Structure formats: structure tokens, C-alpha cells
């Protein structure tokens, strides 16, 4: 889509939630809870659809969608597949503390600490992968 200089009719103020496709909801929820400190929530989406599982970080939520779910039960992307996401989480911990924590959890660091450009400036980032292979960046802004 071409870029336009016309003002947007709607101003986006942030994200409410995202959906990550996973091969095993319980395994992924457990990983996000154990490694990243998420709270696991189960909720009823209504409309006679099956219960959903999400992982919650403060005011942010990730819904975990089984990649093999029936499309009639889920409204989702056209090409949903487990392991295809790149996620960036913010922390106040130092990159060295993140590396140590991941090591203690038995999670391999695939890169970092390295400098990256975030939405508000330079990040110090450490990368790992979730159980399906999605890239997980754990980053902190430099003060």
C-alpha cells in the first residue's frame, strides 16, 4: 500500500493483544510462564467456541492459538503456522541477568546481548526461541 501524507482517519494508541500460533498450547503457556514470568489465563471467547488460553504480562496479553485448530472456531490469519512469530519483550533486567536467567531455565541464547533499534530508541537485546521456534527478543532500553 502506498504511503499517504493524508491524516489517518483513526489514531492507533497501542496493542490490546496478539495471537501466536503454537503446536501445543499447554507446553507454550508453561514455557512463557516459567521463562518469562507470564500469568496463564483461560477464558471463554463466547459464541459456543472452545475455551482459549492466554499468557499475560501486566496489561499485555498473548492468546495462544493451536496451529491445528478448526478455522470455524478461530478467526485468524490466512497462513497461520506455529513457530513463525518474532516477539520482543521489554524488561528492566540487565542483558547479563537475562542471559543468566535463560541459562538457568535451560534456554539457549541464540544471539546477544546486542544493540537493536526499538520503538523509543536503542535496546540491548538477548534472543532465544520458544518451544515452536518463534524468535523471542528480551530487551531493555539503555538509560
Note every long-range contact of 104-113, with CB atoms under 8 Å and residues 24 or more positions apart, other chains counting: 105/34, 105/35, 107/35, 110/135
Ordered by start, the domain boundaries in the chain are 17-68+83-141
Classified as helix, coil or strand, 63 is strand
Question: Rounded to the nearest 5°, which phi and psi values hold at 113?
Answer: -70, 140
pLDDT in tens, 37-85: 999 999 998 888 889 999 999 999 999 999 888 777 777 777 889 999 9
The answer, as to whether pTM is greater than 0.75, is: yes
Q: Does domain 17-68+83-141 have CATH number 3.40.1550.10?
A: no
Catalytic residues: 137
With beta carbons less than 8 A apart as the criterion, state whether 62 and 20 touch.
Answer: yes
What is the CB-side half-sphere exposure of residue 78 using CA atoms within 13 A? 0
Amino acid at each position: 500500500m502506498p504511503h499517504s501524507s493524508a491524516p489517518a482517519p483513526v489514531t492507533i494508541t497501542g496493542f490490546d493483544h496478539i495471537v501466536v500460533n503454537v503446536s501445543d498450547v499447554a507446553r507454550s503457556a508453561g514455557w512463557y510462564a516459567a521463562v518469562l514470568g507470564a500469568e496463564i489465563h483461560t477464558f471463554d471467547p463466547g459464541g459456543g467456541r472452545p475455551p482459549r488460553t492466554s499468557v499475560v504480562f501486566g496489561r499485555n496479553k498473548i492468546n495462544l492459538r493451536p496451529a491445528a485448530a478448526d478455522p470455524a472456531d478461530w478467526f485468524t490469519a490466512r497462513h497461520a503456522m506455529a513457530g513463525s512469530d518474532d516477539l520482543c519483550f521489554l524488561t528492566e533486567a540487565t542483558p547479563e541477568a537475562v542471559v543468566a536467567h535463560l541459562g538457568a531455565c535451560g534456554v539457549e541464547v541464540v544471539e546477544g546481548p546486542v544493540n537493536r533499534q526499538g520503538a523509543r530508541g536503542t535496546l540491548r537485546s538477548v534472543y532465544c526461541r520458544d518451544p515452536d521456534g518463534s524468535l523471542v527478543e528480551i530487551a531493555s532500553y539503555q538509560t
